[in-house]
Structure 1
C-alpha cells in the first residue's frame, strides 16, 4: 500500500510529459485494418481490454436480458442472468454480487446515461431493459479506457447503444417495418419486438420500438424451478436524428427508452430461488432513460469535433410486503429492523451534462487524437425506509490523448472529479485526481505488444450517508496490464484471417468501504480472445479467463470470494454467404472452492443456426434457432445464487417490410 502514492505521481507525471510534446507536422501511415469474418472481432488495434458485441451477435444470441449478451466476454461473470430480477454483471471480481446488484465499481451506460448504479440490498443490477433495443454493447475491462466516461470503474465499463432508423433504412428516405417474434421452450418464453423506421429525408430519421417480453418460472437440468417467479417486461423506445448545416456537419439526436415491470407475491430477495426469511413482496419497477445530444464536426477543421450531451436516468422500485410470508414476522426482536427493508420504495434520478471536443493534429512526427471535456453529474435519491437519500453533485474534467509515432501509440489520460454531497445526514466534500498511461507498439508482421498503468478512486456514495467515516474517504485502486496481440490475413491459406490477444492484469484496491471488514483486495489474471476464419466460411472464436484473488478481512488474508470464474468458451461455425450461419459453442467452467464450498466444473453446449434468404419470396425473412444447454446439464455457475436454466430451445422469426 505504501507504494500507491509513488505510482500515482508517476502516472500523472507521465501524462504531463506526453501532453507537452510539440514539433512540426508530418504525415503518419496507419496500419492496414483486417476485417474479421468471425462473429466477434478481436480488438487487436488497442491497448485497452475491450470487447465489442455487434448487432449481428446481439441478434444471434437471442438473449432475454442484457447480462446474457456479455456472458462469454473474458473477465465477465454473471450473477444469475436469465431474468432481469436478481441478476447482475461482474467484471474482474467487481460489480454485482450475491448481496448487492452493484458495488459502484462497474459503470453501465445507455446512450451515455448512467444506469443500474445503486447499491440496493438483495436487488440486482436494476438493468431493467430489453436487449432488442440495442445494436451494440461495448465492454471495457479494467480502468484504462474509462476516464472519459466516469470515475471509479475499477472493474470496468459496459456501454450500450440503441438502434437508429438508418440501421433499417440504409440511410435512404423511406419506411421500414421490422417485426420479431421469439419463443423459448424453458419457462414458456415469449417476446415480440416491433420497429418502425422512417426517413422523410436523408437529413431526418425517426425510430419507434415496442417490445413485450414474458417468461414463466424456468426449470434447471434436474427439472426443479430455477426460481418461483417469472416476469413480464414491456419496453418502448423512440429515437430521432437530424443533420443540418454545411456538409450536414451539425446533428441533433434524441433517444428515450422506458421499461416497466409488475411482480406480485414474489420473494423480496431477488437473488434467492424461493421465498426465504425476507418473505414476499409486490414489486413495481419503472425505469427510464433520456439522452439529448448535439454534435458538430467542423468541415475542414480537424481541431473542432464538438459533442454536447445531456442525459437523464430515472428508476423507481416500489415494494410492498405480503403479510404472513416471512417466518420472522412474529419475532419482535428481528421484525422491526426487517420490516422497513421489505417495504422500501426506492427512487433515484441521475442527470448528466457532458461537453466534449475531439481534436486531430500533428506535432512534428507525432499524430494526436485528443479528447477533452467537462461533465456535471447530479444524482438525486429520495429517502427510503431502508436507505438514506440526498444529492450527489459532481464536476469533472478529463483529457485523453492517443499519440502515435510510427508503430508506437501512447495514450495518457487524466480525470479530475470534485464531489459535494447534500443531505439531512450531513454535507460532505471530496475530490480525486485520477489517471493512466497505456502504450502499444505494432510491428510490421502483425504482432503488437501493449501495457497500461492506471489509478482511480471510487468516491463516497449516498448509501453510506449514515457512516461519517465512509463519507470522508474514497476507495482507491491501481491496475497494471501487459499483453500481446497478433493479427494477419492469408496466414495458412489465401483469404483466411487470424487474430489473438492475450492480456495479463494485476489490480489492487485499498481503503475499501463496499465490503464489511475488508480493507484490501488484490487480483490478477489472464484474459484470452482469439478468432480464425477461412475464405470458405469456416470460423472459430475463443474467449478465456483465468484469475486469482485475495483480500484482507479483519486482519486475516483470504481468497477473494468474487474472483471471476475460470472459463473457456470456444465457438465453431460455418457461413454460407449471407444466407446461412451454423455454429456450436462450448462453454467450460473450472471447479472453484470458497469457504469449503465447491462449485463443480461444468461444460455446456449451445447450438445456433441463422437463415436469411437473399432472394425469392422469403427475402426479408430471418429465422434463428438456438438450443441452449443442449445436454440439459444441472449446474450452478460460480457467483450465481440460483441454478442455471436447463435445456432451452429458442426460435426467433423476423420479417423486414
Structure 2
C-alpha cells in the first residue's frame, strides 16, 4: 500500500463515513487451525484489538506500552522505558511533554481503574511488568468505555493478569514456569517465575515474581540515552476458592516497584536539567465474589472491592520548586456490583449488564512545604456511578445501547488555595448506541454514536472555572467488515475491517492551544484499517491509521499522531513448531506539530521513518525439548535513526532479543 493509496482511502472514508471491507482470521478444518498472529474483531461494532497470550509472548515487550504499539490508532511516547512512557489513542490521552496521563484514556487492570490524572510531567499509566498479563484489549474510541468511565473519549486499555488455571492442565495439582530473557541494547535481562498450585478441586493459587533490569539504551548513532535504564521487580499473588459450582471468591494483589537514581525530574531528560531520585510503586488489589447459578440465566453476579495505589516518591532535596521534591500519590478504593442477565423478549435475545460503583479517590502531592505542590493540588473525589449495557441480538441486526450516570463531590485537602474543605459537586450522564448489521454471512456494516462527559477532576482545583465545567464530546463511527474462508485458495481465511470516525470535543479544559486563545473546541477525524490473511503457506497482518485534528480556530491540534502502516509477514514450519516472521512499520513525516513555547516554540517537521524487525519462535511438541518455548528476534534490524512523533527522545537502535521459557 502506497502513501497516496492510504491517503486516498482516508479522504474518501472519513468525510463520507463509508469505510471499506473487513475479514476474519481463523479457519478450523477438522483439527487443523490456520491463523495469523492477531484476530480482527469483525463480529462487533466496537473498534477493538485483542492481544492474546501467544502474541504477548511473541513480542517480547519490555514495557506494557510496547505491547500496544502495533494497534492502529494507538501512539506511544517513550515506550522503551516504563517510567515516562505514555499512551495516546486517536490523538487523546497522553499530552506529549506535559502530562503522562489524563482522563481521556482508561487503563484498567483486572477491572481496577488506574491513572494519576494530569500529573505534571511525571504521570504514567504504564509502570507495570508486561509478563503479568495474559490478555490486553485495546478499545479505540468510547464504544465500550461506559462500564469504567463516562469521559474516556480516546479509548480504553483492559489488561488481564494470569491465573493458576492457565498453567494447570487436567488433574495437575502443581506447575512451575520459569522464563529467562535477554536483550542486547542496554544489556536488558528479565527473569519471571510462576508457581501454580491446586491442592483440590476448590482452590487455585498463583504466585508470580519477576525481575527486569536494563541499563541506558543506545540510539542508532551509538548515543547513550540518559535516564532510560531501570530495575523493575514485580509480584502477583492470586487465589480463587470455589465454595460451590455456583459461588466462588477471588483475591489478588499485584505490586511493581522502580527505583530511579540521579534522573531527570520528568524521566525523559528535558526539564531544565533538574536531577532527582525517585521510587515508583504501583499496587493493584481486589477481592471478588462471583455467583452464577447454572439454572438461572438472569443471574451472573459479581461483587468486587478494588484498591489501587500509585506513588511517585521524589527523594530529592531540591527546593527551587515545590514540584521537584513532592511525593505524588493517587489512591482509589471502590466497591463494584454488577450483574449480567441473558433473556429474550420475543425475537430479541438480550445480554444485559447492569452495574453500580461507589468509591473514593484521594490525590496528594506533598512537597517540602508540607502542602501540595501548586501545580498538582490534593483532595478527595467521592463518586457514585450507575451503568447499563444491553446487547440486543435480532438475528442479522445487533443493537447495543449503553448508558452511564455519575455524581461526584471533590473536596480540597492540603492546598494553599482553595482552602481545605472547599467542595464542588457535579453530576452528568453519558451514553452510546452501536449497531451491526450482517447483510451476508461474510459482510457486515456497523456504526456507533457516543456522547461523553468528563466531569471535573482533582487536578482542576487550581481553577474555579474548570471545577464547574464539564467537558463534552460527540463521536460518530461507521465501518464495514468482511470475514470468509477459502477466499484465494482452499483452507485460507481473510478478515478485514475499516473504521472511519469523527469526534468533536467542546468545553475543553484538558489541552492547551499554543496557537491562540481558542481552546474550547477540538475536532478529530480519522480512519483505521485492520487486515489479516492466513493460509497453510503463510500469514499476513496489516494495520494502518490516519487522522487529523484541529482546534476550533482551524489550527493543528498537537496530539494527533503521524500516519502509520505496519505489515507482518510470517510462515510456520515443522507442523507449526517453528514460526518465522518479518515486520515492517512506516510512519510518515508530519509538520502538524506546534511546539510548546518551553520546547522552543514554532512548528517543526518530524521526519518519516521505516523500521524492520525479525522474529522466530520454536516450540517443539515432542522429544527432550517438548514444552520449551524458545524465542529470538531483532528489532530495528537496519539500525534506523528516528524519533517517533510525540516522543521526546530517539528510539533504541538495533536490538537483539532472546528468551527461553518452560512449564515444569
**Contact 1:258–1:287, Cα closer than 8 Å, also in 2:** yes
**Contact 2:431–2:452, Cα closer than 8 Å, also in 1:** yes
State the match for 1:49 in structure 2: 47
User: Would you say 1:268 and 2:265 are equivalent positions?
Assistant: yes
Give the distance between the partners of 1:158 and 1:513, measured in 2 at CA.
Answer: 23
**Contact 2:25–2:534, Cα closer than 8 Å, also in 1:** no
Task: Indicate the SS of the match to 2:310.
Answer: strand
User: Would you say 1:355 and 2:337 are equivalent positions?
Assistant: yes
Give the distance between the partners of 2:25 and 2:187, measured in 1 at CA.
Answer: 48
**Contact 1:182–1:652, Cα closer than 8 Å, also in 2:** yes
State the match for 2:495 in structure 1: 499
User: Would you say 1:546 and 2:546 are equivalent positions?
Assistant: yes
Give the distance between the partners of 1:377 and 1:287, measured in 2 at CA.
Answer: 19
State the match for 1:9 in structure 2: none
**Contact 2:27–2:492, Cα closer than 8 Å, also in 1:** no
**Aligned with 2:403 (options 391, 403, 414):** 414
**Contact 1:75–1:92, Cα closer than 8 Å, also in 2:** yes
State the match for 1:99 in structure 2: 98
- Counting matched residue pairs gives 606
Offset from partner CA, 1:2-36 (integer Å, 9 cap, x none)? xxxxxxxxxxxxxxxxxxxxxxxxxxxxx999567
State the match for 1:27 in structure 2: none
State the match for 1:304 in structure 2: 299
User: Would you say 1:187 and 2:186 are equivalent positions?
Assistant: yes
Change in Cα spacing, 1:506 to 1:530, as seen in structure 2 (3 Å) is same
**Contact 1:124–1:270, Cα closer than 8 Å, also in 2:** no
User: Would you say 1:217 and 2:216 are equivalent positions?
Assistant: yes
- C-alpha deviation, 1:118, in angstroms: 2.6
Task: Indicate the SS of the match to 1:132.
Answer: helix
Task: Indicate the SS of the match to 2:124.
Answer: coil
Give the distance between the partners of 1:377 and 1:565, measured in 2 at CA.
Answer: 38
State the match for 2:7 in structure 1: none
- C-alpha deviation, 1:117, in angstroms: 3.3
Q: List aligned pairs for 1:552-631, cutoff 5 A.
A: 552=552, 556-576=553-573, 577-593=575-591, 594-595=593-594, 596-631=603-638
User: Would you say 1:374 and 2:391 are equivalent positions?
Assistant: no
Moved more, 89-98 or 510-519: 510-519
State the match for 2:458 in structure 1: 462
Task: Indicate the SS of the match to 1:166.
Answer: helix
State the match for 2:21 in structure 1: none
Task: Indicate the SS of the match to 2:520.
Answer: strand
State the match for 1:434 in structure 2: 430
Normalising by the residue count of structure 1, what TM-score does the alignment of the two structures yield? Answer: 0.90
Offset from partner CA, 1:189-220 (integer Å, 9 cap, x none)? 01000001111123321100100000101011
**Contact 1:279–1:322, Cα closer than 8 Å, also in 2:** no
**Aligned with 1:393 (options 373, 376, 382):** 382
Normalising by the residue count of structure 2, what TM-score does the alignment of the two structures yield? Answer: 0.89
Task: Indicate the SS of the match to 1:557.
Answer: coil
**Contact 2:122–2:267, Cα closer than 8 Å, also in 1:** yes
State the match for 1:328 in structure 2: none
State the match for 1:487 in structure 2: 483
- C-alpha deviation, 1:492, in angstroms: 1.9
Give the distance between the partners of 1:488 and 1:39, measured in 2 at CA.
Answer: 17
User: Would you say 1:285 and 2:280 are equivalent positions?
Assistant: yes
Give the distance between the partners of 1:32 and 1:42, measured in 2 at CA.
Answer: 7
Task: Indicate the SS of the match to 1:310.
Answer: strand
Moved more, 172-181 or 280-289: 172-181
Change in Cα spacing, 1:469 to 1:545, as seen in structure 2 (3 Å) is same
Task: Indicate the SS of the match to 1:72.
Answer: coil
- C-alpha deviation, 1:565, in angstroms: 2.0
- C-alpha deviation, 1:226, in angstroms: 2.7
* CA RMSD of superposed structures (Å): 1.6
Q: List aligned pairs for 1:137-152, cutoff 5 A.
A: 137-152=136-151
- C-alpha deviation, 1:254, in angstroms: 1.3
- C-alpha deviation, 1:529, in angstroms: 0.6
State the match for 2:310 in structure 1: 315
Give the distance between the partners of 1:195 and 1:144, measured in 2 at CA.
Answer: 35
Offset from partner CA, 1:96-136 (integer Å, 9 cap, x none)? 12211112110101111111233111114142110001000
State the match for 1:640 in structure 2: 647
For structure 1, list consecutive stretches of 5 or more residues without a partner in the other structure.
Answer: 1-30, 324-335
Change in Cα spacing, 1:589 to 1:132, as seen in structure 2 (3 Å) is same
Give the distance between the partners of 2:220 and 2:62, measured in 1 at CA.
Answer: 19
Give the distance between the partners of 2:92 and 2:35, measured in 1 at CA.
Answer: 32
